[in-house]
Chain A
Amino acid sequence: MSVMSPIAPPPMRRLTVAQGDSLASSDPDVVFTTVLGSCVAVCLHDGRAGVGGMNHFLLAEPRPIAGEDARLLNRYGVHSMELLINAMLKRGAIRRNLKARIYGGATMRQGLGEIGNTNIQFARRFLSSENIEILGENVAGTSARRVEFRPVAGLSRCKTVSKQPVEQIIKIPPPPGGDVELF
């Protein structure tokens, strides 16, 4: 006698989005996952194209910034968002169909409250100026978050995690681009 067993669905492929990454996918079996402290992750989704993406960035230093440093951070943030949007457009997304969710930006240590807030404010400002609707946010507070995002379905899940991640407050990264080649 044979026993019929249900066929187990294939496991989802979990891709970790590390700080500095911008990943997009149109694979229904992919789940993006990340852990955020002061960092912010923006999840973008085009429901018509079935494409989604997530980035993970940290723009501030633990001190007030102004002048050229602030402009450098702004350029770096815009760059991170542009990499994410371009990765999605390459997979068939259309800019005007993009919807966003923002996660992270917590205050992980006393005295570092501005870092998370700076990142949240940047994400909001960028999405507003690009006319990308923000569907939801889970930001600020004092707890780290684990975020999972299914890029094709556009479904996200955000849980606060009691065990705080080891998050490095990195210095302003030097922009990787800027190279000029005249033909």
Chain B
Amino acid sequence: MSRRILTVDDSPSMRMLLRAALTEQGFTVFEAEDGVDALEKLEEATPDLVITDINMPRMDGFGLIEALRSGDVQSGLPILVLTTEASDEKKARARSAGATGWIVKPFDREKLGAAIRRVLH
């Protein structure tokens, strides 16, 4: 069965790149444009894993991680952060908020796929 991934990024171009890279590796992809949109699409998408950007309007990646971790249903949902941010401070903040991993853009298709498979198994 194809594993379901919800990608959260405010850039349509980045979502398109992610969709291409992930569907090619056999994943089913759902998309949201920011944290608020992701929370609204959660039920429909019922993802096995979330990949989220940090810098987004309305609700950023930190807000999304905190919101997902505050709900019982989603408490075990793996969340990978995919960001241009390189600061250790932000990485530590994501980690303490409950992120599962941190990936620096531009992503490498194989490394991303390997990380996803490792987290899902």
Chain A contacts to B: CB under 8 angstroms: 71, 74-76, 78-79, 81-83, 85-86, 89-90, 94-95, 126, 129-131, 175-183
Contacts and interface: CB of A to CB of B under 8 A. Distances in A.
Interface of B: 10-14, 16-17, 20, 55, 57, 84, 91, 95, 99-108, 111-112, 114-115, 118-119
Contacts of B114: 180
B99 A175 contact: no
28 contacts: A75-B106, A76-B106, A78-B17, A78-B106, A79-B84, A82-B84, A82-B105, A94-B57, A95-B57, A129-B13, A129-B16, A130-B12, A130-B13, A175-B106, A176-B106, A177-B106, A177-B108, A178-B104, A178-B108, A180-B101, A180-B103, A180-B115, A181-B91, A181-B101, A183-B95, A183-B99, A183-B100, A183-B102
B18 to A, nearest CB: 10
B101 A183 contact: yes
A129 B105 contact: no
A81 B100 CA distance: 27
Contacts of A78: 11, 13-14, 17, 106
Given A74-B17, A86-B84, A180-B111, A129 B12 contact: yes
A86 B55 contact: yes
A69 to B, nearest CB: 13
B84 A83 contact: yes
A35 to B, nearest CB: 26
A85 B13 CA distance: 12
A12 B12 CA distance: 36
A79 B105 contact: yes
B104 A82 contact: no
B102 A181 contact: yes
Contacts of A79: 84, 105-106
Given A86-B84, A90-B55, A183-B102, A81 B13 contact: yes
B118 A182 contact: yes
Contact of A178 (B55, B101, B107, B119): B107
A85 B119 contact: no
Contacts of B99: 183
Contact of A130 (B11, B84, B106): B11
